[in-house]
């Protein structure tokens, strides 16, 4: 079967930079799905995009569908013939198939025999199917917001101007979004504005590159990176390349040209984060650092034109950035005139959540919990209380109102300028850590106390008003808050009881409409996050289930137990002991055992049960100090030695002895075995 390359390109006015990649991938996926549904063979699919075009290349696309045998089922055999003669049902089915009744076949199914017909169906030409496939793929694009233009009723993200559809060297006849497909495309708006006639689908990228368009998204992105790094090297500086900013800039240009500009050194008196946020958010500039890691009064912009006078472009960007940085300096100077503590009253007018009060109310609640946590972890309770009271004050500053991403950062700067203790200032920044799963946790005890208190207040409050997250909605980012709490407690090695902390947080809310069972509800929700946490750490979910079966409410302890079970599961003895514990659990449940582990040695009749009893006593004495030290891995290593006496016991001893006292004693022996392992986890879950 012959094949050729297929090219689809949709020319548009400038697309939103943040949507370019997703639209390109969605277009490629839509074409892939359409071709697969049509059973047309194809090779690699490449998605391309620039601000002015979405394009997809499909290599080795077969020129037609494969021929296939089609089977049609008609009436049941009993209804198809009467007295050996075909009925009207049989004749009608034959006519619909274009054959005589004698050419029909019998189809055997589990529901009986039916009349049927098989025919060889010729595959349809790919070029005949492509218009419908392409139209469906374009119509299904996840466009954030459609628009109409001119007098047209057609809708798309931006006005569309041209459509290229080529199969090999032939134009695919199609009309989509009011555009007639052709072989005409366009290069760079300024460097190569003339129409370009594509001879064939192959060579698309090379042709556009000659016309000053880098349509390959990945190549354009890396070209920008290389240029920015080269510009920085010329300035003997280090360029800080934010990957999200790099993506955005790549979505703004077709022919990137990096240029270095400068700004007045006086702006360096402003905290660097303010200048960086202004340059990134407003102008999409990359900033530069000196050898000491300090911000240099330089920036790198990426132009979409190769200017004959680049200095003029640089000066234009310098003129634009100057008022932006002046605004940042003004916000900074204005904010410093009012101490953070005096902004505390302003939080009373900022609603956190209608049923949970204002940010001032939240600060009061968090302060109590933060103080308690600081006392428990050896921190300074007064510093924790003060930091919690000031934690949200920078939200009402001019700088944070303009650049929300600076919350916490500006609070730290302003607290230091106000003469607050360094522990308090640092905690204002650390309260938002970790921001995501891979981020660092607060390092200071005051920061840990405030970060935990703030999130616990949010979790208990939102659950307490009945707005727990669903699979699709989590407006208060409660999943992220729960994971952050676990990370701080585990990575910070804070031996705190989560139930106790949640109870204290709930008490601070006063009255909540859903307070009954609230602590257990939030606790279960938070501990459930350990399931994904375990998998992220490379553990099987059974390690989580084994610990979850126990009433463990200290996240640090929970994590230690999971790691121990994970390590134990890799031992040769694990499978046998897990199976034995599962068997013990089933026996005790079936016999409705009262849970007693008191064994009477005088009732141990068989040698195997005497050996197991002695082994349990020896191991219990050996692992007791390990349990107290929470060294669960070492404890399970010691308990692994029980495999042989346990196996022998089940091979040689009849648990359900006829004599009630002997039977009860053996059940107590098994309960003793189970209880010893349950000091760590229910390893029977490893049988799942």
Greater pLDDT, 477 or 651:
477
Taking only the tens place, the pLDDT of each residue in 8-18 is: 999 999 999 98
Count Cα atoms within 13 angstroms, Cβ side, for 99: 13
Residues 75, 54 share a domain = no
The DSSP code sequence of 619-639 is HHHHHHHHHHTT-HHHHHHHH
Q: Is 639 exposed, middle or buried (0-12, 13-18, 19+ CB in 10 A)?
A: buried
Examine residue 505 and state whether it is found in any structural domain, yes or no.
yes
Above 90 in pLDDT, residue 657?
A: no
Let me know the angle formed at the C-alpha of 202 by 197 and 205, rounded to the nearest 5 degrees. 75
Q: Is 45 exposed, middle or buried (0-12, 13-18, 19+ CB in 10 A)?
A: middle
Taking only the tens place, the pLDDT of each residue in 387-426 is: 999 999 999 999 999 999 999 999 999 999 999 999 999 9
Examine residue 216 and state whether it is found in any structural domain, yes or no.
no
Residue 592: the pLDDT is 66
Residues 383, 270 share a domain = no
Residues 181, 53 share a domain = yes
CA distance 266 to 290: 16
**Average pLDDT for 319-332:** 95
Neighbours of 416 (CB within 10 A): 15
Let me know the angle formed at the C-alpha of 137 by 132 and 138, rounded to the nearest 5 degrees. 100
Residue 575: the pLDDT is 82
Above 70 in pLDDT, residue 293?
A: yes
Q: Are 375 and 385 in contact (CB under 8 A)?
A: no
Place of tokens 């939102």: 462
Instruction: State the total domains in the chain.
Output: 5
Residue 498: the pLDDT is 97
- Token pair in block for residue 633: 């891995």
Q: In which band, very low, low, confident or very high, does the pLDDT at 74 lie, cut at 50, 70 and 90?
A: confident
Q: Which residues of 294-304 are buried (b: 16+ CB within 10 A; e: fewer)?
A: ebbbbbbbbbb
Q: How much of the chain is in helix, strand and coil states, percent to nearest 5?
A: 55, 15, 30
602 in helix, strand or coil?
helix
Above 70 in pLDDT, residue 48?
A: yes
Length of the chain: 688
The DSSP code sequence of 520-549 is HHHHHHHHHHHHHHHHHTT--HHHHHHHHT
DSSP 8-state code for residue 322: H
Distances (CA, A) of 679 to 309, 588, 593: 76, 18, 19
- Token pair in block for residue 323: 């008022």
Q: Which residues fall within 8 angstroms of residue 287, CB to CB, at 6 or more apart?
A: 239, 240, 275, 276, 279, 280, 295, 296, 298, 299, 300
Instruction: State the CATH number of the domain containing residue 527.
Output: 1.10.3210
Examine residue 542 and state whether it is found in any structural domain, yes or no.
no
Taking only the tens place, the pLDDT of each residue in 478-532 is: 999 999 999 999 999 999 999 999 999 999 998 899 999 999 999 999 999 999 8
Q: Pick the range with the lowest mean pLDDT from 143-152, 470-479, 544-553, 622-631.
A: 143-152
Q: Are 377 and 496 in contact (CB under 8 A)?
A: yes
CA distance 210 to 417: 56
Place of tokens 């006829």: 658
Residues 407, 470 share a domain = yes
Q: What are phi and psi of 174, to 5 degrees?
A: -160, 155
Q: Cis omega (within 30 of 0) on the bond before 434?
A: yes
Nearest to 204 by CA among 194, 214, 217: 214
Residues 518, 387 share a domain = yes
Indicate the residue among 335, 367, 389 that finishes a domain.
Answer: 335
Residues 153, 111 share a domain = no
Examine residue 180 and state whether it is found in any structural domain, yes or no.
yes
Distances (CA, A) of 478 to 415, 497, 637: 28, 19, 37
**Average pLDDT for 58-84:** 85
C-alpha 199 chain-centroid distance: 43
Residue 438: the pLDDT is 81
Instruction: State the CATH number of the domain containing residue 599.
Output: 1.10.730
CA distance 158 to 144: 11
Above 70 in pLDDT, residue 112?
A: yes
Q: Which residues fall within 8 angstroms of residue 118, CB to CB, at 6 or more apart?
A: 69, 70, 71, 72, 105
Q: Are 332 and 270 in contact (CB under 8 A)?
A: yes
Residues 87, 155 share a domain = no
Count Cα atoms within 13 angstroms, Cβ side, for 449: 32
The DSSP code sequence of 134-177 is HHHHHHT---SS-B--TT----BSS-EEEEEEEETTEEPP-EET
Q: Which residues fall within 8 angstroms of residue 185, CB to CB, at 6 or more apart?
A: 9, 11, 53, 162, 164, 195, 196, 198, 208
Residue 193: the pLDDT is 93
Q: Are 611 and 645 in contact (CB under 8 A)?
A: yes
Residues 365, 327 share a domain = no
Instruction: State the CATH number of the domain containing residue 152.
Output: 3.30.70
Q: In which band, very low, low, confident or very high, does the pLDDT at 587 lie, cut at 50, 70 and 90?
A: confident
Examine residue 545 and state whether it is found in any structural domain, yes or no.
no
Indicate the residue among 294, 317, 335 that finishes a domain.
Answer: 335
Nearest to 368 by CA among 511, 554, 504: 504
CA distance 681 to 687: 13
- Token pair in block for residue 375: 């006392």
CA distance 89 to 640: 74
Examine residue 622 and state whether it is found in any structural domain, yes or no.
yes
- Token pair in block for residue 307: 């200017």
Greater pLDDT, 296 or 150:
296
CA distance 482 to 460: 11
Residue 660: the pLDDT is 81
Residues 89, 61 share a domain = no
Q: Is 654 exposed, middle or buried (0-12, 13-18, 19+ CB in 10 A)?
A: exposed
Q: Checking DSSP bridges between strand 351-353 and strand 286-289, what pairing results, if any?
A: unpaired
Q: Are 158 and 14 in contact (CB under 8 A)?
A: yes
Taking only the tens place, the pLDDT of each residue in 30-47 is: 999 999 999 899 999 999
- Token pair in block for residue 648: 């022998």
What is the greatest pairwise CA distance in the chain? 107
- Token pair in block for residue 522: 């939030």
Examine residue 617 and state whether it is found in any structural domain, yes or no.
yes
Residues 129, 116 share a domain = no
Above 90 in pLDDT, residue 108?
A: no
Residue 572: the pLDDT is 82
Indicate the residue among 76, 98, 121 that finishes a domain.
Answer: 121
Q: What are phi and psi of 272, to 5 degrees?
A: -60, -35
Q: What are phi and psi of 234, to 5 degrees?
A: -65, -30
Above 70 in pLDDT, residue 593?
A: no
Domain extent at residue 516: 340-536
The DSSP code sequence of 283-318 is I-PEEEE-TTSPEEEEEEEEESS--S-HHHHHHHHH
**Average pLDDT for 124-131:** 92
Examine residue 139 and state whether it is found in any structural domain, yes or no.
yes
**Average pLDDT for 142-166:** 85
**Average pLDDT for 207-223:** 96
C-alpha 511 chain-centroid distance: 35
Residues 594, 467 share a domain = no
Above 70 in pLDDT, residue 72?
A: yes
Backbone dihedral region of 417: left (phi > 0), alpha (psi from -120 to 50 degrees) or beta?
alpha
Residues 376, 359 share a domain = yes
The pLDDT mean for the chain works out to 91
Q: In the beta sheet, which residues pair with residue 182? A: 164
CA distance 208 to 453: 56
Above 70 in pLDDT, residue 54?
A: yes
How far the first Cα of the chain sits from its last, in Å, is 50
């Amino acid at each position: 079967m012959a094949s050729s390359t297929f090219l689809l390109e949709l020319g548009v006015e400038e697309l939103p930079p943040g949507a370019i990649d997703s639209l390109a991938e969605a277009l490629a996926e839509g074409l892939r799905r359409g071709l697969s549904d049509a059973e047309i063979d194809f090779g690699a699919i490449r998605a391309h995009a620039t601000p002015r075009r979405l394009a997809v290349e499909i290599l080795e696309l077969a020129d037609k569908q494969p021929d296939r045998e089609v089977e049609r089922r008609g009436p049941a055999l009993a209804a198809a013939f009467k007295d050996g003669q075909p009925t009207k049902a049989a004749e009608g089915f034959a006519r619909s198939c274009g054959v005589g009744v004698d050419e029909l076949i019998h189809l055997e199914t589990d529901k009986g025999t039916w009349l049927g017909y098989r025919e060889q169906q010729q595959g349809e030409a790919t070029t005949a199917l492509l218009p419908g496939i392409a139209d469906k793929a374009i119509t299904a694009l996840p466009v954030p917001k459609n628009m109409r233009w001119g007098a047209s009723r057609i809708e798309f993200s931006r006005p569309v101007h041209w459509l290229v559809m080529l199969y090999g060297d032939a134009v695919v006849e199609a009309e989509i979004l009011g555009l007639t497909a052709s072989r005409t495309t366009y290069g760079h708006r300024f460097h190569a504005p003339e129409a370009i006639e594509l001879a064939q689908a192959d060579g698309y990228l090379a042709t556009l590159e000659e016309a000053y368009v880098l349509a390959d998204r990945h190549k354009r992105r890396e070209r920008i990176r290389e240029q920015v790094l080269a510009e920085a090297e010329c300035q003997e500086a280090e360029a800080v390349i934010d990957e999200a900013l790099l993506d955005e800039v790549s979505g703004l240009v077709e022919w990137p040209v990096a240029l270095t500009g400068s700004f007045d050194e006086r702006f360096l008196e402003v905290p660097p984060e303010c200048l960086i946020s202004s340059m990134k958010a407003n102008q999409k500039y990359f900033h530069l650092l000196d050898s000491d890691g300090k911000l240099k009064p330089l920036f790198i912009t990426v132009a979409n034109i190769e200017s004959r006078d680049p200095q003029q472009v640089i000066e234009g960007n310098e003129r634009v950035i100057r008022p932006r940085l002046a605004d940042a300096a003004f916000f900074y100077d204005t904010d410093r005139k009012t101490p953070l503590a005096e902004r505390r009253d302003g939080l009373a007018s900022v609603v956190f959540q209608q049923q949970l009060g204002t940010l001032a109310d939240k600060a009061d609640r968090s302060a109590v919990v933060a103080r308690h946590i600081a006392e428990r972890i050896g921190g300074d309770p007064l510093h924790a209380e003060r930091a919690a009271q000031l934690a949200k004050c920078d939200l009402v500053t001019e700088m944070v109102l303009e650049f929300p991403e600076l919350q916490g950062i500006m609070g730290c700067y302003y607290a230091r300028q106000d003469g607050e203790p360094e522990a308090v200032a640092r905690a204002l920044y650390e309260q938002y850590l970790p921001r995501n799963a891979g981020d660092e946790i607060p390092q200071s005890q005051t920061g840990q106390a405030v970060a935990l208190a703030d999130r616990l207040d949010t979790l208990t409050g939102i659950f307490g008003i009945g707005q727990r997250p669903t699979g699709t909605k989590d407006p208060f980012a409660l999943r992220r808050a729960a994971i952050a709490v676990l990370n701080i407690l585990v990575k910070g090695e804070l031996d705190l009881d989560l139930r106790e902390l949640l109870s204290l947080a709930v008490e601070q809310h006063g009255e909540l409409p859903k307070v009954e069972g609230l602590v257990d509800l939030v606790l279960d929700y938070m501990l459930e996050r350990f399931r994904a946490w375990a998998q992220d750490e490379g553990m099987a979910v059974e390690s989580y289930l084994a610990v979850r079966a126990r009433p463990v409410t200290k996240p640090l302890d929970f994590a230690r137990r999971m790691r121990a079970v994970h390590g134990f599961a890799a031992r040769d003895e694990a499978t046998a002991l897990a199976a034995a514990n599962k068997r013990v659990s089933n026996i005790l449940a079936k016999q409705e055992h009262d849970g007693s582990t008191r064994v009477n040695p005088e009732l141990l009749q068989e040698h195997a049960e005497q050996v197991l009893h002695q082994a349990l006593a020896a191991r219990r004495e050996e692992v007791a100090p390990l349990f107290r030290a929470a060294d669960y891995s070492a404890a399970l290593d010691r308990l692994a030695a029980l495999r042989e006496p346990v196996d022998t016991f089940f091979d040689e001893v009849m648990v359900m002895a006829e004599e009630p006292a002997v039977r009860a004693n053996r059940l107590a022996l098994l309960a003793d075995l189970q209880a010893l392992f349950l000091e760590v986890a229910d390893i029977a879950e490893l049988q799942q």
